[in-house]
Structures are given as C-alpha cells and as structure tokens.
Amino acid sequence: MKTVLPTLAKMNERVVIGSRGSKLALAQAQWALATLSLAQPALDIQIEVIKTTGDVKTEPLSIIGGKGVFTKELEEALLDRRIDLAVHSLKDLPTIVPEGLALAAVSEREDPRDALVLPKGSPPGCESLADLPSGAVVGTSSPRRLAQAKYLRPDIEIKELRGNVDTRLRKLDEGQYDAIILAAAGLRRLGLGSRITAVIAADQMIPAVGQGAIGIETRDGDTHAIELARLLNHELTQLACTAERALLRALGGGCQLPIAAHAVIHDRDLHLVGLVASRDGSQMVREEVAGQRAEPERLGATLANRLLGGGAMELLAVGQ
C-alpha cells in the first residue's frame, strides 16, 4: 500500500535552506532540497550560501574556537529570518543550541567511521593504520583522530591538515603526507568513496559525536519549518545521536580535548561507547553503557559519569 504524505506546503511557497559553500555542505543541502521537493512538490526551495568563520580562517580549529565556527553564521541567519532551515554536518553543531533555535531533525546516518586515505598510485596492501611504515607522516586536523592514531601507532608523525576535501586530497597526492584520515561519510557523499584505502573500525578509532549524520536546525516555534524538517528525520539515527550529544554536553562540549562517542541501536537496545583522551594520546579513558533506546539522554549522562569517575575528570581539568 502506497504511503500518502500530508501536504505541508502551498503552491510555490518559498523555503530557504542555509548552507556553507563547501562542496560537501552543498551536497548535503542539495540532498535536503531533493528530499523535500519529492515529498512536497509545491514548495519553491532555494539554497542560500552563507560563509562561516571556519570557512575564512586558516588557523587550526583548536585555535579559532573549534565548536561553532562552522555554524554560528547559519544560526544568525535563522534568527534573522533570512533562511528557514539550516543544514549542518551534525558533528559541527554544538550540543547547546542557542535560545530561539531547535535541532528539528537528524538525517539517516552515512558510515560514521573514519577512513585512511593513501596517495594515488600507492601499492596495495595497506588495510589499516597498523600497516603504515614506522615514521609515516599522517595528516589530520582533528584532535580526536590525532590522539587515537598516536595511541594505536605512537611511532607515526601527525601533521596538521586543513582545507576542504579536495585540498586535502591534493596535498596528499603531492607527497606532503604519507596518509591522511578523513570521514568516510564525507568522501562518499562527494562521490569519492574510491579514494578510501581502508575504513578504520569504530572500536579502534571511535568516531566524533554525530559523525556521518546531517542536522537540520530551525527556529524554535516555527511549526511549519519544523514539520518540513521532520520529513528529513531518521528516528534511529536521531536517538543514537541524542545519546552521543548528551554525553558530550555532560562532559563540557566546549573542551578542546579529544572526546569521541558512538551509539549503535539493536532492536530496543542502545549501546554507547565513549572516550576522553589527552592531546597526545598517551592517556585515554574509555567506557561503555547499554540500555533502552528510549532513554538516550539518560544513557549519555550515565556514560559521562562513568568516564569522569574513570579518570576523565583529571584529563579534562588539565585540558582547560
């Protein structure tokens, strides 16, 4: 039996989606546009590109502020009513949403894992971080990836890597790095899945909170925009990411220390693993929790307490 979706739009009603201008951000915004257009053909949907702090600064994210540098200007555009929906990579969205705004939907997750990428033309045989030669230069801009990579391979050299995906791949292929680590989801959304040399197992390198998911932000109380956003929502991904974000929020999401979390749902159960590490990866606290998927906030807070009791509190104090 065919499902008939309710009509939420008047003919030619204009809806503006806000997006960063990177290829990946625009690919995500185009997905939102296409999905909404299919569900509500009467809509006149447009994408407005908004430049964020993270797009114009060249310093490492740990220096320019990390969380919020890719979202603040989009949120301001929402509050100013220049856009109706903001499309974010969920891992970039701070866990505390500004007053007047709401995280209205979370998309079905792409592969949340990290990917190891070698230069074009590299000989086959590298299937994990363990296969890299001693002293290999590995590029990443993520403290989370740096810490876990150094924990697994203290003999490799980590080198800062900034720029969009194309720029990072170009630097790799030019020989500035022996390998780089990127999000598998981003590569696949850009049609660059063939560049993935090896996907790093989530139990070896725990992903970032929300990695692989797209967050749709609206004005709080904008009932119509929220109803449209819900057409993009995937309930199981939303529950999993709610648990991850609750963990990060309870730990103090603005901290620049490496924090990672990954939730998996099986039937009615939710399993959440989390990690806090020192910046150099020499110290690491890892814990996990399981419970009912209907209680993601509680499970995230519970795991945060376990991490704090297991030594994360001391790491976080040093990282302030």
- Identity of residue 60: P
Helices (H), the chain: 23-39, 53-56, 61-64, 72-79, 143-152, 165-173, 184-189, 223-230, 235-251, 296-307, 313-319
Task: Identify the burial level of 21 via C-beta atoms within 10 angstroms of its C-beta, where 0-12 means exposed, 13-18 middle and 19 or more buried.
Answer: middle
Relative to beta strand 101-106, strand 114-117 is unpaired
Structure tokens at 168: 């990072």
Please state, in angstroms and rounded to a whole number, the distance separating the CA atoms of residues 227 and 12. Answer: 17
**What's the gap between Cα 66 and its chain centre?**
13
Active site residues: 92
Relative to beta strand 179-183, strand 101-106 is unpaired
Cβ-based neighbour number of residue 197 at 10 Å: 18
CA dihedral 72, 253, 210, 294 (to 10 degrees): -120
**E strand or H helix at 291:** strand 284-292
Please state, in angstroms and rounded to a whole number, the distance separating the CA atoms of residues 74 and 70. Answer: 8
DSSP-assigned letters across all residues of 58-113: -S-HHHHTSTTTTTHHHHHHHHTTS-SEEEEEGGGS-SSPPTTEEEEEEPPP---S
